[in-house]
Amino acid sequence: METQVNVDLTSFRMETRKWLEDNCPLSMREKLTDPKQLFWGGRKGEFYNKDQKDWFERMLKKKWIVPYWETKYGGGGLTATQNNILNQEMARLGCRKPHINFGITMLGPAMLKFASEEQKLHYLPQITEGKIRWVQGYSEPNAGSDLANLQTKAEDKGDHFLVTGSKVWTSFGDKGDWIFCLVRTDFSSKHNGVSFLLIDMASEGVSTRPIKLISGNSPFTETFFDSVKVPKENLVGTLNEGWTIAKYLLTHERQMIGGIGDTDKKEYLRDEAIKVLGKNNDILSDTILRAKIAELEMNQEIFDLTIQRTMDEHKAGNNSGAASSFFKYYGTELSIQSEELRLSVNGFNASEWTSEESNNGAQARYFCRTKGHSIEGGTHEIQLNIIAKRILGLPSK
Amino acid sequence: MALIINEEQQMLKTSTKEFLDLKSPLSSLRVLRDHSYKTHDKDLWIEMVEMGWTALTIPEEYNGLNFGYVGLGQVLEEMGRKLTLSPIISTVLMSSTLTSLSKNEILKTKLFQEIMNGSKLVSIAHEEGIQHNPNTINSLLSKQGEGYVLNGKKNFVIDGSISDYLIVSSKDESGSNTMLVLVDSKSDGITYNNKVHMDSRTYSDISFSNVKVDKSNLLSEENDGDSILEKTFDIARVGLAAEMLGSVQEAFEMTMSYLKEREQFGVKIGSFQALQHRSALMFGEIELCKSIVLKALQAIDSNDSNLPKLASLAKAKLGMTFKLVSNEAVQMHGGIGVTDDADIGFFLKRARVIQRILGDSNYHLDRLAKINNY
């Protein structure tokens, strides 16, 4: 019996490998150098080039935009093991994800767990077809780390909610079609007065304003709601119980920021260092940098093993140890450290900001961007608090 | 292979823990130390032999249990929790492993038998400097008549003072071949300088002066000495990392318990964010340690060609984490942490010694860089 399963999986792997080799355009296997090379979809979505369009459409036809969702929701119906194999085979070739959407990584998992069947059948297929680009409305000016302090209110007006307030740190808010929001529906309780609401950003009264970061780029916006009418059926889950959904969704956000499940090609810092700095007697010429790179790569390699171990334990039915807070903390910390070391490796070239050779200061700007990684999705400090309290059981005051 | 242990391995781990809870609690180390640094408890060793621990990694054709290194790793991890003193590292992890790689079938069969039934203890005598160095060997094995004579000086031999046999690394007269020979520890020409270290364990500096060696006692052939030694060391590094993993977890758990019970300023000190954040960071490092130790143990059993790299990852990571956790454990215990009354100091002192065995974290980071060609 088990042998038969293994045989089936082996043939699934072989078929998948062949299909990817035949269908993934070569340029879609190259390392990303520009965020535009990813297809985010949505009403305003445009393909960067023909290869990107072909790749998306072939994967869509194969139902592999979200391969692990049920087919009735537009997914491919793959088992966790099959999906793993697909991920491994995509990583082997370095295939880019055909479509990036917070609807896949964040909203989807929450909808699957908390939404009504009607809502799932309505919203999820639109995500898998790349038609709707979702954004997240969580943080507010006075609700950052203390997220439950949010004040954007949704008043019950009979057949609709009237939403007033503002959100901040909306990733790609200006490019989104719909926003999933935490809103306050009861002011008498902090955590038990929050609801989870889906809002069409084309509604009257919704506006955004970009936030310029230290990188010079504006991947985030402020999002304003000025007496926006939202139909009652856009409420997900139970009124005033949105905090449960919020927390569940945050665990998925942490995994996403931590880079769990990435299939793009790994670029080794050491290769860049060897190219730029050269070697003396087979040893990287900067020996202090060499030691730092070795330590970072040690942790990267063991972190990847830890993701694997956690998934294997999960499959075997035990959920010991490492939680999403740990992965978010450690994964972002490694990317931050890696960018610090890349600055050292590339010396004077690393800080260039505007030249064409530097691709408009891509490295320096990305370095600046990573400084947000330890803040967004719950700061490093919040993650450490969660580990201390929930996993280690350390007391509150 | 999935990064989890199977049911049989889990059962071995559980039974080891139950056995050690009863027979070798952390306090046993203190008792042995306070009896003039006794090297180990002989009755306990006999029980370990009866439990089959000396046969775990020996193949079935030599009447071993063929349980593999993932199995031995579980035993070592549990022993690391108790800082148990026993000859298991020298005799089983190191010497039995080296023996298994030898092509001298007659000697191998005899040695396996004696190791399994607990009648002989064996140590590897290799180091010649004050840092681990697998390649520098000045000890000389010269031909004399039908056999050989051995001359040289070895440092830091684990359990050298109690072993019945020594496996000594040396060079032949050409200077190019590494020779591994088994000598009786009571042979004429061997002198011992036994030294107690910070971890309450005894390590020996041993001199060999014209020690006669029969040619039947060669464990290496003409040119496999280096490869046997290298593989033995890689396997032993992983085993040491498994022991360290147990010690790290125990020191961490003892500290977490202390943070939950000790009160200052009218509250449990575990409620202070300064301590919570450092605890959470240690939790993360320990999660990483668990992954690399298991991966490396599996690599031994599956004969993975990545073993050298995984062994260095394991030894480097565990060395660094054991240092971090043992330091923080003492610090978080406050004044009591630096008293001899508290057990937590034993972990600090063991960390600093085991770190050095077969290469510290610096050595292994350098080796990793070399393996990755930079």
Q: How many CA atoms lie within 13 A of A346 on its CB side?
A: 19
CA B334 to chain centre: 30
Please count the structural domains in chain A.
Answer: 3
Strands A153-156 and A160-171: antiparallel
User: What is the pTM assigned to this prediction?
Assistant: 0.90
Phi and psi for A166 in degrees, rounded to 5?
Answer: -145, 150
Distance from CA of A202 to the nearest CA of B (A): 43
Whether residue B222 is predicted with pLDDT greater than 90 in this model: the reply is no
Q: Please state which of the ranges A24-38, A51-65, B282-296 shows the lowest mean pLDDT.
A: A24-38
Whether residue A20 is predicted with pLDDT greater than 50 in this model: the reply is yes
Put simply, the answer to whether B276 touches A329 (Cβ < 8 Å) is: no
- pLDDT tens digits, residue range B99-130? 999 999 999 999 999 999 999 999 999 999 99
Catalytic-labelled residue, pool A89, A253, A339, A352: A253
Same domain, B350 and B285: yes
Is A247 inside a domain boundary? Answer: no
Distance from CA of A11 to the nearest CA of B (A): 18
Torsion angle in degrees (nearest 10) through CA of B53, B55, B60, B65: -10
Same domain, B240 and B342: yes
Identify the CA nearest to B280 among candidates A371, A317, A378. A378
Q: Please state which of the ranges A4-8, A141-145, B116-120 shows the lowest mean pLDDT.
A: A4-8
Same domain, A237 and A270: no
B217, B235, B252: which is the final residue of a domain?
B217
Instruction: Please give the average per-residue pLDDT across A163-171, as a whole number.
Output: 95
- pLDDT tens digits, residue range B188-209? 999 999 999 999 999 999 999 9
Residues B248 and B282: beta-carbon distance below 8 Å: no
- Mind spelling out the 3-state secondary structure of A297-341? HHHHHHHHHHHHHHHHHHHCCCCCCCCHHHHHHHHHHHHHHHHHH
Residues spanned by the domain of B350: 225-371
Is A50 inside a domain boundary? Answer: yes
Q: What is the pLDDT of residue A30?
A: 87
Token pair, residue A302, equals 């063991």
Distance from CA of A380 to the nearest CA of B (A): 10
Task: Note which residues in 279-338 of chain B have CB less than 8 A from chain A.
Answer: 279-281, 283-284, 287-292, 294-295, 313, 316-317
Same domain, A147 and A236: yes
Same domain, B63 and B172: no
Whether residue A315 is predicted with pLDDT greater than 90 in this model: the reply is no
Residues of chain B in contact with residue A315, where contact means CB-CB under 8 angstroms, are 2
Residues of chain B in contact with residue A381, where contact means CB-CB under 8 angstroms, are 277
Is A109 inside a domain boundary? Answer: no
Q: What is the pLDDT of residue A2?
A: 53
Same domain, A339 and A372: yes
Instruction: Please give the average per-residue pLDDT across B283-295, as a whole number.
Output: 98
Identify the CA nearest to B236 among candidates B194, B296, B156. B296
Same domain, A95 and A34: yes
CATH number at residue B181: 2.40.110.10
Strands A235-236 and A279-280: unpaired
Is B235 inside a domain boundary? Answer: yes
Same domain, B20 and B149: no
Establish if B370 touches chain A: CB-CB under 8 angstroms: yes
Token pair, residue A243, equals 């905090």
CB-based contacts of B316: which residues, under 8 Å, 6+ apart?
A298, B361, B364, B365, B368
Whether residue B298 is predicted with pLDDT greater than 50 in this model: the reply is yes
Is B362 inside a domain boundary? Answer: yes
SS3 B173: coil
CATH number at residue A219: 2.40.110.10
Is B2 inside a domain boundary? Answer: no
* Spatial separation of the C-alpha atoms in residues B193 and B208, rounded to whole Å: 12
Confidence of residue B274 (pLDDT cuts 50, 70, 90): very high
CA A28 to chain centre: 19
CATH number at residue B293: 1.20.140.10
Q: What is the pLDDT of residue A32?
A: 79
* Spatial separation of the C-alpha atoms in residues A203 and A228, rounded to whole Å: 7
Same domain, B245 and B361: yes
Put simply, the answer to whether B276 touches A322 (Cβ < 8 Å) is: no
Is A116 inside a domain boundary? Answer: no
Query: Which chain B residue lies closest to A280 (C-alpha atoms)?
Result: B374
Residues in chain A, overall count: 397
Residues B37 and B196: beta-carbon distance below 8 Å: yes
Phi and psi for A158 in degrees, rounded to 5?
Answer: 85, -90
B100, B119, B138: which is the final residue of a domain?
B119
Establish if A383 touches chain B: CB-CB under 8 angstroms: yes
* Spatial separation of the C-alpha atoms in residues B150 and B188, rounded to whole Å: 11
Identify the CA nearest to A182 among candidates A243, A269, A130. A243
Residues of chain A in contact with residue B369, where contact means CB-CB under 8 angstroms, are 270, 283-284, 290-291, 293-294
* Spatial separation of the C-alpha atoms in residues A240 and A197, rounded to whole Å: 11
Query: Which chain B residue lies closest to A278 (C-alpha atoms)?
Result: B374
Establish if A341 touches chain B: CB-CB under 8 angstroms: no
CA distances for B254 relative to A46, A396, B19, B248, B345, angstroms:
57, 19, 20, 10, 12
Q: How many CB pairs under 8 A join A and B?
A: 126
Identify the CA nearest to B365 among candidates B318, B331, B330. B318
Query: Which chain A residue lies closest to B276 (C-alpha atoms)?
Result: A388
Q: What is the pLDDT of residue A129?
A: 96
Is A309 inside a domain boundary? Answer: yes
Whether residue A320 is predicted with pLDDT greater than 70 in this model: the reply is no
Whether residue A59 is predicted with pLDDT greater than 90 in this model: the reply is yes
* Spatial separation of the C-alpha atoms in residues B193 and B187, rounded to whole Å: 15
Same domain, A304 and A381: yes
Question: How many of the other CB atoms lie within 10 Å of CB of A159?
Answer: 9
Residues of chain A in contact with residue B279, where contact means CB-CB under 8 angstroms, are 387-388, 392, 394
Q: Closest to B280 (Cβ–Cβ): which among A308, A321, A392?
A: A392
Same domain, B102 and B192: no
The single-letter code of the amino acid at A177 is D
Residues spanned by the domain of A148: 134-241
Instruction: Please give the average per-residue pLDDT across B137-165, as a whole number.
Output: 97
Whether residue A262 is predicted with pLDDT greater than 80 in this model: the reply is no
Whether residue B349 is predicted with pLDDT greater than 50 in this model: the reply is yes
Same domain, A270 and A237: no
Which sign, positive or negative, has the C-alpha torsion B81, B85, B89, B91? negative
Strands in chain A per DSSP E: 134-137, 153-156, 160-171, 178-184, 194-200, 206-211, 220-231, 235-236, 279-280, 283-284
Same domain, B361 and B237: yes
Q: What is the pLDDT of residue A67?
A: 96
Whether residue B166 is predicted with pLDDT greater than 70 in this model: the reply is yes
Q: Choose between B263 and A252: higher pLDDT.
A: B263
Query: Which chain B residue lies closest to A316 (C-alpha atoms)?
Result: B4
Put simply, the answer to whether B368 touches A298 (Cβ < 8 Å) is: yes
Same domain, B146 and B63: no
Q: What is the pLDDT of residue A4?
A: 74
Q: Closest to B365 (Cβ–Cβ): which among A270, A291, A385?
A: A291
Identify the CA nearest to B126 among candidates B337, B354, B285, B357. B357
B119, B137, B159: which is the final residue of a domain?
B119
CATH number at residue B103: 1.10.540.10
Among this protein's residues, is A376 annotated catalytic? no
Q: What is the pLDDT of residue A37?
A: 84
Strands A220-231 and A206-211: antiparallel
Put simply, the answer to whether A330 touches B277 (Cβ < 8 Å) is: no
Q: Which helix (H) or strand (E) holds B62?
A: none
Confidence of residue A1 (pLDDT cuts 50, 70, 90): very low
Same domain, A278 and A231: no
Residues of chain A in contact with residue B260, where contact means CB-CB under 8 angstroms, are 393-395
Is A105 inside a domain boundary? Answer: no
Same domain, B256 and B339: yes
Angle value at C-alpha A225, between A223 and A231, nearest 5 degrees = 120
CB-based contacts of B180: which residues, under 8 Å, 6+ apart?
B98, B102, B167, B168, B169, B170, B218, B219, B220, B225, B228, B229
Is A78 inside a domain boundary? Answer: yes
Top-confidence range, A1-10, A79-88, B92-101: B92-101
Distance from CA of A279 to the nearest CA of B (A): 7
Query: Which chain B residue lies closest to A314 (C-alpha atoms)?
Result: B4
* Spatial separation of the C-alpha atoms in residues B44 and B214, rounded to whole Å: 34
Token pair, residue A126, equals 């639109």
Same domain, A82 and A143: no
Same domain, B245 and B353: yes
Q: Closest to B291 (Cβ–Cβ): which among A294, A309, A387?
A: A309
The ipTM assigned to this model is: 0.95
Confidence of residue A319 (pLDDT cuts 50, 70, 90): low
Is A318 inside a domain boundary? Answer: yes
Is B363 inside a domain boundary? Answer: yes
Q: Closest to B369 (Cβ–Cβ): which among A290, A385, A391?
A: A290
